[in-house]
Amino acid sequence: MSSSSPSDSSAPAPSPLLTLPGAVAAEAPDEGVAAHYGDLFKEQRALADGTGFVDLSHRGVVTVSGADRLSWLHLLLTQHVEQLPPQQATEALILSANGHIEQALQLVDDGTTVWMHTEPGKQGELIAYLESMRFFYRVEIADLTDEVAVVHLPAGSIAEIPGSVRAVRETAHGRDLFLPRAELSAFAASHGPAIGVLAHEALRVEARRPRLGMETDHRTIPHEVGWIGSAVHLDKGCYRGQETVARVHNLGKPPRRLVFLHLDGSEVQLPVHGDAVRLAAQGLEGRQIGFITTSVRHYELGPIALALVKRNVDPEAELIVGPDATAAAQEVVVAP
């Protein structure tokens, strides 16, 4: 679980794409959009092949504009954004005073405004923190969640971007479009097939990318889940929680580490978020050495998962997960 309440801001209305044929509504934390549209593996293959799009309109959308926006955000975020070039995507965290992760932001500056999206329901908490830090800076903060929706085009997509799109965030994993919410249905009609968030999650797990509230809990620090480098810049000025980041980086000993798991495919049920991870040699009577963060069924790899385990767990050790003692072979994501 994340370090704050899972829904601290009003959720946008459910996506109109839930009325598309075959749409099955997603469960927490992705309520409001489709989990899939009838064929999970077909949707994963389409996404991997660079076709279709993912409806992420349940995510929070926040903007910061004004002459001081980048220099001001540079003081608050873990990422170096003071000279962030227009259209260059990045990601950043907001930490507590003790260095625990509170927000994970996907952002881009369009030359006049920083556009960011965050986990569903987290935009209210984000705006409250930003407003509390405005002081004399020339910035304007806005919650555009009810007006603008996020849709994701996969890497390799040649789909045309509508002229009405407010901003585009392009990374190695694809493009996030900030689209007027009123145009979601029209976008789906011209950019299909629509792909559910379960396929998006499967490819995220395959890529070993952490997600706030899934790979994090109330005490997670950036080093544990691999956000050093991609979301945390180690050579920048002060920000809240920097002391913890610097201390752990210099000592090289985060208390836990993210691992990728290949799960035994004979099990009918996938382990769920929070299920215990144990050493196979000790069985179900052994002490818990970690927990499942996200598990998915992948169209090529079969059942796979991410998990947080104690730092000193042997990377070669065979593991079991959940109450059914599902066998799991680990791959290193964050080195011990």
pLDDT in tens, 116-158: 999 999 999 999 999 999 999 999 999 999 999 999 999 999 9
Q: Indicate the pTM of the whole model.
A: 0.94
297-300 LR contacts (CB < 8 Å, sep 24+): 297/40, 297/41, 297/202, 297/270, 298/44, 298/202, 298/205, 298/206, 299/40, 299/41, 299/44, 299/45, 299/48, 299/202
Do residues 245 and 221 make contact, with C-beta atoms less than 8 angstroms apart? yes
Predicted confidence pLDDT, tens digits, the chain (336 residues): 333 333 444 688 999 999 999 999 999 999 999 999 999 999 999 999 999 999 999 999 999 999 999 999 999 999 999 999 999 999 999 999 999 999 999 999 999 999 999 999 999 999 999 999 999 999 999 999 999 999 999 999 999 999 999 999 999 999 999 999 999 999 999 998 999 999 999 999 999 999 999 999 999 999 999 999 899 999 987 899 999 999 999 887 899 999 999 999 877 789 999 999 999 999 999 999 999 999 999 999 999 999 999 999 999 999 999 999 999 999 999 998
- CA separation for the pair 264, 268 (Å, rounded): 10
What local confidence, expressed as pLDDT, does residue 2 receive?
A: 35
Please name every residue paired with 115 in a beta bridge, in sequence order, or none if there are none. Answer: 63, 108
Going from the C-alpha of 240 to that of each of 73, 119, 155, 307, the distances in angstroms are 12, 20, 34, 27
